[in-house]
Amino acid sequence: MALSKPISGRQAAGADDAPAAKRERRKEARPGELLDAALDLFVEKGFAATRSEEVAARAGVSKGTLFLYFPSKEELFKAVVRENLSGRFAEWNEEFETFEGSAADMVSYCMKVWWERIGATRASGITKLMISEARNFPELAAFYQQEVIRPGTLLIRRILQRGMDSGEFRRVDLDYAVFSIVAPMIFLIMMKHSLGACAPQDYPLDPERYVQSQCEILLMGLCVRPDVGS
């Protein structure tokens, strides 16, 4: 009977290390998997109706493991918002600083890119959730105001101010002009997640055409025209 070849120490160590490395990679990926599962459930069911154990089950871990990373459902929701929305403002502000087109180009770019990166994704459901449940969870509403609404409003103000400073836009009330950009986007979110079910089936809303139309209407009101004056 042939003798088996002895296993070297390196081979034995490699065999032992492979499962350990796999477990380590799985552990590193776990927070992202939990955030993905939480986003899905928050958008599907809302904040109040989503249970922590459901998030854990969808991510394939125990409830105890979930709480190792996120000590409460509220903290889990905040992490979802930071991952999908507020954590992107550094990127968007950098784009503002380096943008080389006109102010009108920037408004169009802002609305188009917002739809592509947020509106058309699962993350848009967070806004619908906040509209529905903010009054029942004042702490989360205050968090969302600080992390999303305030920086978003500030960025839009900067875009409009840039246009006024360059003489491209008329002088407008910035506090309220901001809503001229935000409101059409909120409508589009609500059509996607709620109101769309009430729309006539023979009149579908094409998001790209809608955004383009809103940009054109908005810029007709903002841009200075020589025959009208500022």
- Residues 97 and 138 reside in one and the same domain: yes
The answer to the question of residue 8 being in a domain is: no
Is the model's pLDDT at 126 over the cut of 60?
yes
Q: Both 122 and 62 in a single domain?
A: no
Task: Name the nearest CA neighbour of 36 among 123, 118, 113.
Answer: 123
How far is 16 from 85, CA to CA, in rounded Å? Answer: 41
CATH number, residue 138: 1.10.357.10
Domain end among 76, 108, 141: 76
Q: Which two tokens stand for residue 53?
A: 């154990």
Residue 223, φ and ψ in degrees, nearest 5? -70, 140
**Predicted pLDDT of residue 228:** 52
Same domain, 54 and 126: no
Same domain, 101 and 48: no
Alpha helices in the chain (DSSP H): 9-45, 52-59, 63-69, 73-84, 89-98, 103-114, 124-133, 138-144, 150-165, 174-193, 207-222
- Which residue range forms the structural domain that includes residue 48? 25-76
Q: Are residues 140 and 170 in the same domain?
A: yes
| pLDDT score, position 54 | 96
- Whether 194 is covered by a domain: the verdict is yes
Mean pLDDT of 211-216: 96
Same domain for 102 and 198: yes
Tally the domains of the chain. 2
Domain closes at, from 76, 97, 116: 76
Position 229 in a domain = no
**pLDDT tens-digit profile of 19-67?**
554 455 456 558 999 999 999 999 999 999 999 999 999 999 999 999 9
Question: What are the pLDDT digits (tens) for 108-118?
Answer: 999 999 999 99
Are residues 168 and 120 part of one domain? yes
Cα separations in angstroms, 184 against 25, 148, 179, 211: 42, 17, 8, 8
pLDDT score for 220: 94
Contact 66, 56 (CB under 8 A): yes
**Cα angle: 120, vertex 122, 123; to 5 degrees:** 90
Q: Does residue 14 lie within any of the structural domains?
A: no
**In terms of domains, do 137 and 216 share one?**
yes
Share of the chain above pLDDT 90, in %: 78
Among residues 40, 56, 76, which one ends one of the domains?
A: 76
Task: Based on the fold, state whether residues 138 and 196 are members of the same structural domain.
Answer: yes
